[in-house]
Chains A and B, each alone.
Chain A
């Protein structure tokens, strides 16, 4: 046994005090992502801080301008919330594409936004990793994909992040200082090891704010089975009434990728070329690299056809 204590704070303030006083802790939301990392000995915390008793993290509130979602709201709960369903069908579609119906009853919105990056050579059992000599992100010194020691290209796989990027969502973080409000886009680093930003000083993601804004949305996810499997490519897109668009891509780079513009200023080929330049896609998924790259174009073609109607 390596974990020394299992802590259940009743408020964000409590959680922050526990974080300050317990070195090498782990925030635990639904645990549907992080438990597998614990089992595969990819992380070895001394203390687990379970956020599930914190009521203030489970609220959904709305006004005329926005909806705010507590980070501990489950994916199942957001799919069944009438306000979210009415104003943000894209969020419901993205949430319902994650895991399985049972997993979604435990998995949280915050946990999905902060889901750990994945790679075929890293998300494996201890024995498997040992047999290949480990890798840069683990205890080795070479990336098994590029065979160099420079950089890790593990993929961000949050389906909600792709959707939240195109909805221009904000996130609120509480920490040992004054806390932060920032665009969700600023939460991510193009780095396969250090993939989240602004969570230092024991940062807890507390809320997601979605501005209510008219427009048409589109969502598509590529994976081997239509259930259980993580994304090999997720594309979410929104076109606003003034023909501005925001496209969120994920599963194909170290962080979610955002492409923005105005449909009167750029054509489909221009958007595809931007997507190709922005995604650092490498061969570390179940689906072949060439196919995943081609599918970015295929999905963008499909989105383009859908907005011509």
Chain B
């Protein structure tokens, strides 16, 4: 095993990992940060999305050893001092989640998208979230929630 120091949610964590270990495994199984979900485990559903240096990545296909020296943020870092992020808040208000399994992925993808695009159209939101699958909501309420969050974040 290899010793690695990772900056996760603004804390340095030193741990031992396998050479071919992926970040999703490290987060969930070694650091017990189980907010990041394992869906397809092959880059096809978006539920494992986290931020690396503020950009969304799929943690199921990101080697943990590639993350050394980068800053990783997971869903656990999004609500601050008990206050939900506007995207989380609007997802709740709009009923943009049912089982909630896909929600961490949608939130992490949307955070970077709304930082880059302050005034998104509906079709831009659809395109940005097109790698995130939800089996419950039918997407409409998620898209509305992200639009509403963009207003809150202005």
Which chain A residue lies CB-closest to B22? Answer: A35
Cβ of A75 to closest chain B Cβ, rounded Å = 13
Known: A101-B130, A102-B58, A106-B57. A36 touches B20 (CB 8 A): no
- Asked if A48 and B19 make an inter-chain contact with CB atoms under 8 angstroms apart, the answer reads yes
A57 to B2 CA separation, bound complex (whole angstroms):
27
- Asked if B131 and A35 make an inter-chain contact with CB atoms under 8 angstroms apart, the answer reads no
A103 to B46 CA separation, bound complex (whole angstroms):
9
Which chain B residue lies CB-closest to A28? Answer: B63
**Contact residues in A for B148 (Cβ distance below 8 Å):** none
A105 CB-CB contact with B under 8 Å: yes
Cβ of A157 to closest chain B Cβ, rounded Å = 15
A38 to B127 CA separation, bound complex (whole angstroms):
28
Chain A interface size, as a band, is 20 to 34
**Contact residues in A for B57 (Cβ distance below 8 Å):** 102, 105-106
Complex partner residue of B65 from A6, A99, A102, CB under 8 angstroms = A6
Complex partner residue of A106 from B19, B58, B113, B128, CB under 8 angstroms = B58
B44 CB-CB contact with A under 8 Å: yes
B residues with CB within 8 A of A: 2, 18-20, 22, 41-44, 46, 49, 55-58, 60-63, 65-66, 109, 113, 127-128, 130-131
10 A-B contact pairs sorted by A residue (CB < 8 Å): A3-B19, A3-B20, A6-B19, A6-B20, A35-B61, A39-B42, A102-B57, A105-B55, A227-B131, A228-B131
A residues with CB within 8 A of B: 1-6, 8, 28, 31-32, 35-36, 38-40, 48, 50, 52, 99-103, 105-106, 226-228
